[in-house]
Structure 1
Amino acid sequence: MTETKIIALDDDPTGSQTVHGCLLLTRWDVDTLKEALTDASPLFFVLTNTRGMGSTQAADVTREVCRNLKLALADLEREGRPINPLMISRSDSTLRGHYPVETDVIAEELGPFDAHFMVPAFIEAGRITRDSVHYLMVDGEPVPVHETEFARDSVFGYTHSYLPDYVEEKTGGRIHAENVERITLDDLKTDLRPRLAELHGNVCCAVDAETQADLDRFATQLLDVAAQGKRFLFRSAASIITALAKLPPQPVPAEAMSDYVRGGRAGAVIVGSHVRKTTEQLEQLLKQDGVVPLEIDVARIDSERTALLQEITARAAQAHAQDLTPVIYTSRTELTFDDQQTRLAFGERVSAFLMDVVRRLPPTIGYLISKGGITSNDVLSSGLELRAARVLGQILTGCSVVRCPADHPRYPELPVVIFPGNVGDAQALAEVYRRLST
């Protein structure tokens, strides 16, 4: 019998924010992929970090993952363990990423697919889709996402919240809005299986969802059809992954995550995200007892890198010696650049600096909180140099906790919170700090 495995190619590490028990891979060689494919969990994530790349590099990385995955699947089939992959191109703030670049590459390398589903709803973060219009809930009111700050992203900006129009915009008219299949809330109340079974030619389908129950109903019917041989691809946020994986509640309650803090010691916080929500959360965190603010003036990174690194790491060590938690954050004023390439290159230098800080944190810190999607990916893959990590669960809605392995050379069994930039209310970052500090 062919086994189904849910495989999410994640453009940052935040797609695990609704699941537990699965592996996050920061490497994608064939042996590592085979290890994940044969793991007991029904799903795993490959952290490609493509949201921090230009489109050409994002396509190259996605292609490399897919080709190695194809080899790993072929090896397992020869070994008598055939696996049918259910592929997900997972992107935080789903409309803000390399679509259709990544789904096109996945289809080229692992297709043909009968359909690809656009499912941006992330219920836990207040992102819903109604009548094919994607909204962000702000103070209890639905705001079309093209009216939010995320739509004005200098790299991934967009002008439409109506998903068929968004698809036409991003594909440059290759997929016309009228050719996008719409699966509405009313449709989800019906038997969709005959309709899903008729899909072919990698048609794009926009899926509504206001609650997790909506996605659960959709996933149940889709899995029934997939079991009959239909091949589907997703471009989605995290909530549909929960529905597809059908996981039980996480074994460790969110309020008990402090049990994983090493020796009950103070931790460290790294903040790279620049979105307004992160800045609001940072302001509240810095009001808490036991924290020490350490601001990195990013304008100094190119000209005074060595001195700045020594200054920040020395102050972090001093705070830790006093059983205080250093909160290390990039300056909040975002610099302007002439073009996207220059902006991305500077972002890479800032991230490389932050990772040098992570590698030089005191080895006895009790925990680490990483704020920002791209920042968190770099923390896992570069700062901590993990090949793979297992998700323990969520400490707060949308915020995963992973743990370094026991044989890590500097931070054995260190719990690490992956905190997306655009998740939670103003108190959320402070709440995570309090839960780990009690």
Structure 2
Amino acid sequence: MTLAPAQPKIIVLDDDPTGSQTVHSCLLLTRWDTETLRLGLEDAAPIFFILTNTRALPPDQAQTITTEVCQTLKIALVETGISDFLVVSRSDSTLRGHYPIETDAIAAILGPFDAHFLVPAFFEGGRFTQDSIHYLIINGVPTPVHETEFAQDSVFAYHHSYLPDYVAEKTQGRIPADQVVRFLEADIQQGVQAQLQALHDNQCVVVDAVNQAQMNQFAEDSLAVAASGKRFLFRSAASLLTGLAQLPPQPIPATEMGQLRRNSRPGAIIVGSHVRKTTEQLMALLKEPGLVGIELDLEPLASNQAAASTLLETTLAEIYEAFQANLTPVIYTSRQELSFPDTATRLAFGLVVSQLLMDIVQALPTDMSFLISKGGITSNDVLSTGLNLPTARLLGQILPGCSVIQTPADHPKFPKLPVVLFPGNVGDQQALATIYQRFSTATPSLA
């Protein structure tokens, strides 16, 4: 018998703030005390996001935070009386992240689960999975992700695009490749409710999807079987969330998002991501009129972190000079990849750079008309630290994969400021320029 899908509360633990890039009208939480979690659980939207930012942290801290979130979430679920829910560990569509650390931590507190699913496809970013091999489209060519720059990440490096082998590698053989269940395209198209019913004891399942229709079919089957009592945990990129949330079109069309700008003053653009795609987008952006580029040379900070205060002072002077000239400053980190003796040192340096960027955000002119944040970790920090937002309402996407939130009307420094959360590794070469154009040419809304 085919079951009808239900609509549980979908709880997303997002390891940076870009997992919401395919949904809208829901809450993003940057804190996870019980009171804040209750806001997400009791919100009218079927989905909400807890921004843990664990991708920016060492493994032990990622495990600690994930455990802490789940322990508090367990209390909030009891307090709100919610028993019908799904948990998604949202992570990167290029397979970077703390797997299986985060899924293990979630299962230890909120389990037991019958299965956990790896569903990394993200169509808006050109990532799909076929025959259990995960691909990234580069210049129109589907490329196995282990052949891309992302597989060489100094923190999250891996050697396999065939997902069962990826699982075996990341679990250090605890889950052998031949024990990973594979849902192939043909399975998804025929429906997998029977296979889902048969899963048990937190089996690992890798899921094919080459288009959103297939993803929606898998989500529909998963919802239906979960409604019958099976318990599932998902480790996914953003496209699965589209299928699970089943939302109508976003209220504000993407092409009209620029009308959210607060006034006719300049905006500000912060670029932290240094992947190749971001650099290409940055170079295209800097050709636009009405901008001034301000580069943060990070190399001196690697050997002398005290230099940050001087760099902050000189950068803010350049920013305010740009505003006086009615130009939008583009503040970007230097593009070279610095070398570090170990992962811990690299992550610690990342925190120094992040603090510098957030000090800049907090000191931006209070009358700026919009803010564009480029990079996943950078965007998380902008919300939680730069703007000090415990929650934010996601309005939708200005481009595929690029979300827009608006600060509340009672924000002490930047009321009703539209903020673009732009992941580092999505969009074409002109994407950053296109978003800037939509804001810089729009007539400010009077609402």
Shorter-chain TM-score tier: over 0.9
SS of the equivalent of 1:15 reads coil
Shift in Å, 1:305: 2.0
Q: CA deviation at 1:3?
A: 6.8
Displacement of 1:304 in angstroms is 2.2
TM value normalised by structure 2: 0.96
Name the counterpart of 2:320.
317
Query: How far is the alpha carbon of 1:229 from its aligned partner?
Result: 0.7
8 Å CA contact 1:284, 1:427 repeated in 2: yes
User: Does 2:17 correspond to 1:37?
Assistant: no
**Structure 1 unaligned blocks of 5 or more:** none
> Is 1:300–1:308's contact at 8 Å kept on the other side of the alignment?
no
Separation in 1 of the partners of 2:280 and 2:35? 42
1:64 & 1:405 partners in 2: Cα distance? Answer: 27
The aligned residue for residue 84 of structure 1 is 84
Q: Please name the residue that 1:25 is paired with.
A: 29
Kindly indicate whether residue 193 of structure 2 is the aligned counterpart of residue 193 of structure 1.
Answer: yes
Structure 2 residue identity aligned to 1:30:
T
Query: Counterpart in 1 of 2:247?
Result: 247
Match of 1:8 in 2: 12
AA paired with 1:105? A
SS of alignment partner, residue 319 of structure 1: helix
Distance 1:233 1:85 in 2: 10
Q: How does 1:157-196 map to 2 (within 5 A)?
A: 157-196=157-196
1:259 CA displacement = 1.2
The offset of 1:368, in angstroms, is: 0.4
Distance (whole Å) between structure 2 residues aligned to residue 282 and residue 270 of structure 1: 10
Matched, 1:400 2:426: no
The answer (yes or no) to whether the contact 1:30–1:72 under 8 Å persists in 2 is: yes
State how 1:53-64 maps to structure 2 within 5 Å.
53-64=57-68
Of the structure 1 ranges 136-145 and 207-216, higher mean CA displacement relative to structure 2 is found in 136-145
Letter in 2 for 1:335: L
Q: How does 1:198-217 map to 2 (within 5 A)?
A: 198-217=198-217
CA distance in 1, matches of 2:181, 2:55: 26
Q: Name the structure 2 match of 1:418.
A: 421
* Structure 1 partner of 2:131: 131
- Alignment gaps of 5+ in structure 2: 1-5, 442-447
Shift of 1:265: 2.4
Match of 2:356? 353
> Alpha-carbon deviation of 1:364?
0.4
Distance across 1 between alignment mates of 2:325 and 2:300: 27
8 Å contact 1:295–1:331 — kept in the other structure? yes
Q: Is the 1:3–1:83 contact (alpha carbons within 8 Å) kept by the matching residues of 2?
A: no
Q: SS where residue 257 of structure 1 aligns?
A: helix
Kept in 2, the 8 Å contact 1:36–1:44? The answer is: yes
**Equivalent residue, structure 2, for 1:116:** 116
2:252 partner amino acid: V
Instruction: Please list the CA deviations of residues 103-139 of structure 1 after superposition, one character each: whole Å capped at 9, or x if unmatched.
Output: 0000000000000010000011000000000000112
8 A contact 2:7–2:46 mirrored in 1: no
Q: Percent identity?
A: 61
Which consecutive segments of 4 or more residues in structure 1 shift more than 3 A? none
Provide the aligned C-alpha RMSD in A: 1.0
Q: How far off is 1:94 after superposition? A: 4.8
In the other structure, the counterpart of 2:283 is 283
2:7–2:223: 8 Å Cα contact kept in structure 1?
no
> Aligned to 2:182, what secondary structure does the other structure show?
strand
1:300 deviates by: 3.3
